[in-house]
Structure 1
């Protein structure tokens, strides 16, 4: 079995919007700038793609 698409991490300023299930890490940030920086770093480290879901939520996805 080969898993091709999955969420590697969630980055948010509002943890009430994210329900972590299945071991996906959740990164909580205090500002939009911090959230963007964390998303960019994780995107490179995890070899994934950052997607802005809302103004205070990013996910890193493996395609």
Structure 2
């Protein structure tokens, strides 16, 4: 069995209140804008979007 290691490259959220850490954080005003930003970053960074909650997405590069 192989194990995957992932690196969080960015966080996209509607509310920065509960977000912190070393990755860049993008705060967007609407869910639609959050999805657009996540989609663009996913392509630019050659990574994947993962939904943490309805208000927060992360961009992860899996190794």
The aligned counterpart of 2:17 is 16
- CA deviations on 1:6-62 (whole Å, 9 max, x unpaired) are 1000000010121122xx110010000000000000000000000011001000000
Runs of 4+ deviating beyond 4 Å? none
SS in 2 for 1:30: coil
The aligned counterpart of 2:29 is 30
- In 1, Cα distance between equivalents of 2:31 and 2:61: 23
Q: TM-score, normalized by length of structure 1?
A: 0.87
Matches for 1:52-63 after TM superposition, within 5 Å: 52-63=51-62
Look at both structures and tell me which one has the larger radius of gyration over its CA atoms.
2
Residues matched between the structures, number? 58
Q: TM-score, normalized by length of structure 2?
A: 0.87
Structure 1: state its 5+ residue gaps.
Answer: none
